Each structure stands twice: as structure tokens, then as C-alpha cells.
Amino acid sequence: MSLSPFHLAIPVHDLAAARTFYGKTFGLQEGRSSAHWVDFNFYGHQLVIHEHPETDSQRHAGTNAVDGHDVPVPHFGIVLQWDEWEALAERLKSFGTRFVIEPYIRFQGQVGEQATMFLFDPCGNALEFKAFKDIGQLFAK
């Protein structure tokens, strides 16, 4: 399956902290930048962090109950291969990352079983990273 890269621009109220988080903690390759924004290669997609005053959703994340957890909303992320997800979870743990929802397997034994983890960047943007043992269940009902 071939996907077109998406472009996502998010607000960050501390450009330096966000640049370090995405560049060093995640190890994302930095692209173009200015004094007020930075492009990153987010697993083949274009993520741009834009310096912007703190937003209400960054200060007070909403939640939605999913599989017994309070999932932060809004959030964004990527679906990785299982081994990539495991490696990322270990990398984030090695950096002392505080998770909103620790890495675990959600919907065990059900349609859509997946590995998932949630965290916030230094500016309060929520991220989810997930993986499916069977990627064919990505959109299964």
C-alpha cells in the first residue's frame, strides 16, 4: 500500500524545547527551518512545529474513554510496524519520557488488537503511537 505523505503543522509555545524533543528524543531528521518554525521528517511525513502562544487544548487536554483509559483529545501520531513500535517505546523510556498511557496492548483478543502509547510533547500536544500485529485490522469493524 503506497501512501502520500501528509503535512501537519502544530503550535508550540517553546520552539527550542519542542525542537529538542522531536529531534533528539524521537531522532527525527530536521528539514528546513526559520526563527519561528521547524520541519521534521515524521516517518516519511512532514511535521512542522510553529512557534505560537499556548493554546487552550495544550493547557487543558480533553479526554475520551477508550479501553479503560482516558485518551487525550486531540492527538496525532503514526501507525508503525510492530518492531518499530517496540523500539520506539524502549527509546522513549530510555529518555525518561512520562507517558499519559504507558505502552501496552489494547483490545487484546479482539478485532483491532494493537500496541499503543500516549504522551505529550513539551508544549502539551498529545501524541499516540500504535502498531498492529495484523495491519489488515487497521480499519476493521
Residues whose CB falls within 8 Å of the CB of residue 66, separated by 6 or more in sequence, listed in order: 106
* Beta pairing, strands 29-33 & 37-42: antiparallel
Reported confidence tier of residue 109, pLDDT bands at 50, 70, 90: confident
For the chain, give every domain's residue range. 1-52, 62-141
Of residues 110 and 130, more confidently modeled: 130
Mean pLDDT of 29-34: 97
Question: Could you tell me which of 105, 108, 71 has the C-alpha nearest to residue 85?
Answer: 105
**CATH number 3.40.50.300 given to 1-52:** no
What is the percentage of the chain residues whose pLDDT exceeds 90? 81
For residue 4 the three cell numbers come to 502520500
Alpha-carbon distance of 70 to 50, in angstroms, equals: 27
Mean pLDDT of 83-110: 95
Q: What is the pTM of this model?
A: 0.92
Alpha-carbon distance of 33 to 19, in angstroms, equals: 10
CA terminus-to-terminus distance, the chain: 20
Note whether 65 and 71 are within 8 A (CB).
yes
Chain-centroid distance of CA 75 in Å reads: 7
Chain-centroid distance of CA 111 in Å reads: 23
Of residues 4 and 112, more confidently modeled: 4
**CATH assignment of 62-141, among 3.50.50.60, 1.25.40.10, 3.10.105.10, 3.10.180.10:** 3.10.180.10
Reported confidence tier of residue 130, pLDDT bands at 50, 70, 90: very high
Would the CATH topology of 1-52 be identical to that of 62-141?
yes
